[in-house]
């Protein structure tokens, strides 16, 4: 009953198998190997486009390097106020940009929209050296509240950004979950909608350690190659990441994993909705569920072996706020979440025997 | 016949097995798991001391984070002019230190010594805000020329450094190879000799991706935890690195690997010494062999499938310099180097049938 | 009728005279001269304490260097959301800190208070490498809304900061104006109330270019000396800044200037309060006046030669917000503001003949 | 008898007068004033070209900002090993570039040449992410050894740099001294010879504090405006720097000052050459004289009130090295150096009565 995070899971069987398979022979280091080449071709196929792919160690590194590619003196990057880059990366985007800055924007359910972005940009016009200047926008897909941006929403944001000379970055730590939730193509959700660079996450959805910066505009690729090395993010034994991506992509395994995780989230949400103790904050769109229940319930669930995080309620509208004796909690499902675990958890919540959910 | 680098190898069987073994269940992320705890205990046992251990993605990251821990405004770090930090890390130490500086020193066979360090420090005395100030020293063990610092040599360097308020860092990308070459304990070669922080490399000697910063002085540990996260170097699925280290350390496997690699280097060197075409630059001390032979020989060897790197002769004394029609080459052995490969290579060099070496 | 900013003024006569006086002979550069020594002694006298004084070129540099002295990886600094460091320094604090971060807090009239600071700190407890950690607090004296912190308010903020291990910085770009408004000693308003470091501004109040970082805790002084040089902020001809400070301090000239500026602000506010067109946002406490009047009034005043800035109304309570056809404006007075100018301006506003104000 | 540095002088009379003259009235801050506009026009006239001019506080800031404009991840800048940027700026270029790197080159008398630059660049070809990549070259005019680059020498260096995609920066802390030594136009010595950006120094040659970055290529100007502000280098009362430049340029005053300083250096050199105690290292080309004499002589001269710096002999050919009981010293003249002082000094050296020199 571990719903703390999707990164509590290990690697899925196909990913682990691919990793084992690649372990033979001596091959060139630093990405000069066949496995890295093949994995890169997979990316091109999935995105229907030649892309520049840079494996890195973590999602934080991917985000920070991607945003730093657009850094300028006095530049800042718009993001949602709950964005991982803003609250969970210990200042990595600022550090990698040599002193860059994030400009957090509010927005319901973890998403910004084109209109509020436009308004925010206008507040900095005409540009002044004192205030600094916006250089990029970053959105999280799926968002930190588990919601997803439709291709149209992405496109509208991209249009505002590009009209003002800003680049658009997408933090895709849970890209697969968003993709299958929307049932669109990876191309439609990214560069066709105006995304300039994507942090592509594989770790949360079945890999051990497989993250990549995917640049759709090659002009910045040369700089990024140096920036990655300078950041200590260029693996010598690149094949071990490449192989994970191969196992991840082969036979649509990554999409299957995401479909499963999202389905488990829906099942979990259904159970919570039926329970007498808790209530759902809103219907999950990907693999994160937010619920409110009494603090006593949290305590009881944890005592029974369940894990999940309390979540800050900041930014919620007044009518959705938990009461003083309630917790707002986040529950995350993954490829490794079993129906059994969901059922057991839901049963603890008092929603029937958990089997019907 | 791949002698290009020890990072052309994959993972050794025990390391791969440990990695596979750890892949079950859901466990806390970011190092809160049992495997990470256990691996950390291994480090304490090996170094005979409680140490602060920080897994990172690459040796470059380990070096840059370790040195940045001692950064001060206007500070610079002494290193050998051939040091990896100076010539092979794309400016990572400077970047991580927010604009730090390296001060390269010459020295035979890739090593600096206490006397030249003392002299270099004195050139910056009395300190001036214009010139900046030395804050640390870094030595590579085994060095970039495959030589090793004895515990006494380390101690003398440490004493000079500490007397002037400088910290001592050891780049141990090939720490195991140095250790078995010297046949001393890990403690004797590091903190007991005055090393303040060590970049501990596992990748070149049998792991896929297992590098760590090992701090012997805990005062900097708290900052390093934040610095690592900010650098995008904190793995979410920490267990996958931890498991590699467990497989690496268990039953002295890491030492066996290094013993083998060093032995292969000696065997290779013996063959080169016997050959009519090439000559050894000097007897190898760890797992790197430097040789000089005609450019035509390089061409022929590579055509036959051998791989090795041309090496810059800069810094060599005049009498050792390769002639105009000669190459200086570096050959590196690893746990994965086979006697067969060495024999085949040596045979190509015309040193008997290669079997006797 | 220029009320755009106090930095539109030149230098006051005593400051200009001191600058001219110092211009003879050859003297040591970089602060080794007598004038710099003397000016430093002035600081010690004024603050009733040996202090470390670092002349720098601008208030932005003073703030950024002062805050960078407390930087740690993953560290961030609390400030008011309207603080100059946050909105008017193009990211200098972030840049100087090698990727630092500011955490803006709301608060009425440009001030934060101890309780909201305490609450903000608690939101980051227990500390986590993901979220980063607070390292310092900065307050502006007088604030960007022209209000002042009493010594008690400073002390309360300092106590909260220090209890949690945070340092307290004061941005004193308008320190003199605050000092005379409160009628307290420089010591009482700074280190005796818990301020660790002060950006001491002379430029806005009568100098051409005279800013200094004043450290009350000498432990960071050595680093700051190097940091200043590295920032290109160490003047070679230091005496020209030193002389300005001498002219500034001598015979309490700096306090006289501030008294005059504050008085002119009160006079201007009185006129606005009497006018039929505009209304005062609140009574000025130092040398900045905030008023609301019709956009047509702004246009007319500017056409008549007046200068002042429109000011963002963000953060004001709803009942104070300007109407759609109104401007919120800021008017700043200085040592160079004449009664005549105030009278002429007020007359234009229709407040009698302006003479009575 | 102060020959320690040209920055021991104050301001020349015309510069001081211009500074006094500008001190009236209230004018826009941050460079929006007439004086700044006029000074900028002076630059255009002197360089026979519209240029982007950025006043900054120090030569170190000018150099660091200029070089940072060309920074790229993994980038480094070639300079002479004695360059001010490398040895006297406490790491400012590295800091401003967010972790940039300098690659020092040897060269006689403080100058690099096109051939050695070409060779250095080739050592980094083909480019590799490990080694990093050259992005710019900086030369000092006049150099740290008081020598000057002819327009042809500059052009040859620029051609090598540009052929490889590198930018050329000129550190002109003593630009005027070089200009009058060569008797060429400012345009011929800079952009017409291929210089991309110039640090233009006024401080050493008659100003109090007047330094500027002059960009000949406007593409980087926008970024530099933000970078300057972010560096705390944008003066609010810009007119006070502008006025200095006006006084400096008017009636060719700056050239007169430099002619005088250079003449004093020649006179001083002549005296040393005639003396029995000392010998000239080489004929001065601008306003710096290098001499060798017994340590006892240094002691005696200083006791008599003379000031000058011992200079590191590193990099000198063996035959020029001072003996063990000798000092290598640097003597610098300026607009404020009097014939009287030179005569008195030379007399102390035993070169006649000093009058004939």
Does residue D283 contact residue D145 with C-beta atoms inside 8 Å? Answer: no
The encoded tokens of residue D195 equal: 């210089």
CA distances from D39 to C348, D34, D176, D219, D301 (A): 35, 9, 17, 21, 42
Length in residues, chain B: 357
D23/B contact by beta carbon, under 8 A: no
Topology alike, domains B14-252 and B254-348: no
Considering only the beta carbons, identify the residue of A89, A91, A130 that sits closest to C88. Answer: A130
Find out whether C237 and C244 touch, Cβ atoms under 8 Å.
no
Residues D224-235, buried b or exposed e (16+ Cβ, 10 A)?
bbbbbbbbbbbb
Contact state of C229 with B75 under an 8 Å Cβ cutoff? no
List CB contacts (< 8 A) between A106 and chain C. Answer: none
| pLDDT tens digits in sequence order for chain A, 357 residues long | 899 999 999 999 999 999 999 999 999 999 999 999 999 999 999 999 999 999 999 999 999 999 999 999 999 999 999 999 999 999 999 999 999 999 999 999 999 999 999 999 999 998 899 999 999 999 999 999 999 999 999 999 999 999 999 999 999 999 999 999 999 999 999 999 999 999 999 999 999 999 999 999 888 899 999 999 999 999 999 999 999 999 999 999 999 999 999 999 999 999 999 998 899 999 999 999 999 999 999 999 999 999 999 999 988 999 999 999 999 999 999 999 999 999 999 999 987 655 554
Residue B327 confidence (pLDDT): 97
Check if the beta carbon of residue A348 is closer than 8 Å to that of residue A304. yes
CATH number of the domain at D11-251, please? 3.40.640.10
CB B352 within 8 A of CB B274: yes
Q: Is B31 helix (H, G, I), strand (E, B) or coil?
A: coil
- What's residue B65's pLDDT? 98
Tell whether B100 lies on the interface with C, counting CB pairs under 8 A.
no
Whether C276 contacts C350, CB under 8 Å: yes
Evaluate whether A170 touches A143 at the Cβ level (below 8 Å). no
In this complex, the chains that touch B, judged by 3 or more CB pairs closer than 8 A, are A, C, D
User: What are the angstrom distances between the C-alpha of A346 and each of A270, A288, A339, A357, D289?
Assistant: 9, 15, 10, 8, 87
The hierarchical CATH code for the domain B14-252 is 3.40.640.10
Asked if A73 and D227 count as a contact pair (C-beta separation under 8 A), the reply is yes
Q: How far apart are CA C55 and CA C38, in angstroms?
A: 13
D116 CA to chain A: closest CA distance, Å? 25
Query: What is the greatest pairwise CA distance in chain B?
Result: 63
Question: Phi then psi for C212, rounded to 5 degrees?
Answer: -150, 145
Mean pLDDT, residues D267-289 taken together? 95
With contacts defined as CB-CB under 8 Å, which chain A residues touch C72? Answer: none
Of C73, C91, C100, the CB nearest to A76: C91
- Report the residue from C91, C96, C99 with minimal CB separation from A132: C91
Domain residue extents for chain B: 14-252, 254-348
> What is the mean pLDDT of the segment spanning B131-137?
97
Residue C90 has its nearest CB partner, among D4, D60, D230, at D230
Check if the beta carbon of residue D131 is closer than 8 Å to that of residue B87. yes
Contact (CB<8Å) C88/A131: yes
What ipTM does this complex have? Answer: 0.96
Strands A279-280 and D101-105: unpaired
State CA A315 to chain mean position distance.
20
Which of B72, B129, B227 is the closest to C229 by Cβ? B129
Q: Do B232 and A11 touch (CB under 8 A)?
A: no
Q: How crowded is residue C334: how many other Cβ atoms within 10 Å of its Cβ?
A: 27
User: Strand, helix or coil at A57?
Assistant: coil
Do B132 and D91 make contact, defined as CB atoms within 8 angstroms? yes
> What distances in angstroms separate CA A303 from CA A324, A336, C86, one per listed residue?
21, 22, 44
Spatial distance between the Cα atoms of B13 and C33, rounded to a whole number of angstroms: 69
Measured distance CA(D123)–CA(B7) in Å, rounded: 24
A101 contacts C99? CB cut-off 8 A: no
Q: Which residues contact A315 (CB under 8 A, 6 or more apart)?
A: A81, A82, A106
- Distance between CA atoms of residues C153 and C188, nearest Å: 12
Touching B: C residues 214-273, CB under 8 Å: 223-230, 234
Taking an 8 Å cut-off on Cβ atoms, the answer to whether A229 and D129 are in contact is yes
Determine whether the interchain pair B98/D95 forms a contact, defined as Cβ–Cβ distance below 8 Å: yes
CATH number belonging to domain C11-252: 3.40.640.10
D309-310 sheet: strands from edge to edge: D279-280, D288-294, D326-332, D309-310
Which tens digit of pLDDT belongs to each residue from C300-352? 999 999 999 999 998 899 999 999 999 999 999 999 999 999 999 999 998 76
What pLDDT does B353 receive? 58
CATH number of A11-253: 3.40.640.10
Say yes or no to pLDDT of D357 above 80: no
Strands (DSSP E) along chain C, which ranges?
A: 52-56, 75-80, 101-105, 133-140, 167-172, 197-201, 211-215, 279-280, 288-294, 309-310, 326-332
Structure tokens at D325: 């009981």
A contact residues 312-351, partner B, Cβ 8 Å cutoff:
336
Against chain C, the chains showing at least 3 CB pairs within 8 Å are: A, B, D
For chain B, positions 280-319, list CB contacts with chain D under 8 A.
312
- Does the beta carbon of C127 lie under 8 angstroms from any beta carbon of chain A? no
Tokens representing D228? Answer: 């300057």
pLDDT tens digit string along C134-172?
999 999 999 999 999 999 999 999 999 999 999 999 999
CB contact under 8 A, C226 and B98: no
Q: What six digits make up the tokens of B201? A: 């490399």
Residue with tokens 């062999």: B289
Q: State how far the Cα of A54 lies from the Cα of D182, in Å rounded to an integer.
A: 51
Dihedral of the alpha carbons of B346, B349, B353, B354, in degrees to the nearest 10:
-10
C104 shares contact with chain A (CB less than 8 Å): no
Cis peptide before C187 (omega within 30 of 0): no
Among left, alpha and beta (phi > 0; psi -120 to 50; other), residue A99 is: left
**Rounded distance between C-alpha atoms, residue D78 and residue D65, angstroms:** 16
Nearest Cα to B306, choosing from B282, B273, B260, B271? Answer: B271
Is residue B167 left, alpha or beta, with left meaning phi > 0 and alpha meaning psi from -120 to 50? beta
pTM: 0.97
The sheet with strand C101-105 has its strands ordered as C52-56, C211-215, C197-201, C167-172, C133-140, C75-80, C101-105
Q: Which residue of A has its CA nearest to C74?
A: A90
Token pair 């980038």 is at which residue? D75
Evaluate the CA torsion angle A195, A200, A201, A207 in order and state its sign.
Answer: positive
**Which CATH number is associated with domain A254-348?**
3.90.1150.10
């Amino acid at each position: 009953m571990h719903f703390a995070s999707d990164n509590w899971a290990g690697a899925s069987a196909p990913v682990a198998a691919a990793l084992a398979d690649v372990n033979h022979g001596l091959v060139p280091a630093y990405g000069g190997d066949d496995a890295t080449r093949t994995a890169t071709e997979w990316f091109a196929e999935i995105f229907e486009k030649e892309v520049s792919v840079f494996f890195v160690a973590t999602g934080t590194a991917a985000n920070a390097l991607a945003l730093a590619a657009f850094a300028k003196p006095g530049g800042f990057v718009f993001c949602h106020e709950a964005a991982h880059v803003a609250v969970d990366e210990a200042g990595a985007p600022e550090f990698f940009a040599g002193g860059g800055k994030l400009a957090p924007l509010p927005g319901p359910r973890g998403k910004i929209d084109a209109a509020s972005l436009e308004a925010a940009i206008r507040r900095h016009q005409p540009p002044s050296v004192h205030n600094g200047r916006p250089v990029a926008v970053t959105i999280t897909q799926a968002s930190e509240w588990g919601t997803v941006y439709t291709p149209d929403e992405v496109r509208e944001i991209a249009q505002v950004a590009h009209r003002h000379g800003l680049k658009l970055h997408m933090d895709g730590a849970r890209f697969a979950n968003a993709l299958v939730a929307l049932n669109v193509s990876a191309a439609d959700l990214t560069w066709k909608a105006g995304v300039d660079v994507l942090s592509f996450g594989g770790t949360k959805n079945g890999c051990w350690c497989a993250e990549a910066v995917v640049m759709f505009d090659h002009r910045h690729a040369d700089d990024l190659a140096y920036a990655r090395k300078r950041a200590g993010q260029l693996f010598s034994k690149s094949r071990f990441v490449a192989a994970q991506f191969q196992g991840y992509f082969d036979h649509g395994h990554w999409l299957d994993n995401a479909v499963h995780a999202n389905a488990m989230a829906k099942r979990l949400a259904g159970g919570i909705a039926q329970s007498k103790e808790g209530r759902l904050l809103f219907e999950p769109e990907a693999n994160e569920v937010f619920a409110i229940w009494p603090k006593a319930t949290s305590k009881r669930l944890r005592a029974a072996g369940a894990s999940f995080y309390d979540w800050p309620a900041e930014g919620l509208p007044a009518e959705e706020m938990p009461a003083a004796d309630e917790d707002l909690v986040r529950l995350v499902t993954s490829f490794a979440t079993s129906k059994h675990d969901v059922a057991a958890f839901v049963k603890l919540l008092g929603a029937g025997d958990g089997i019907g959910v």
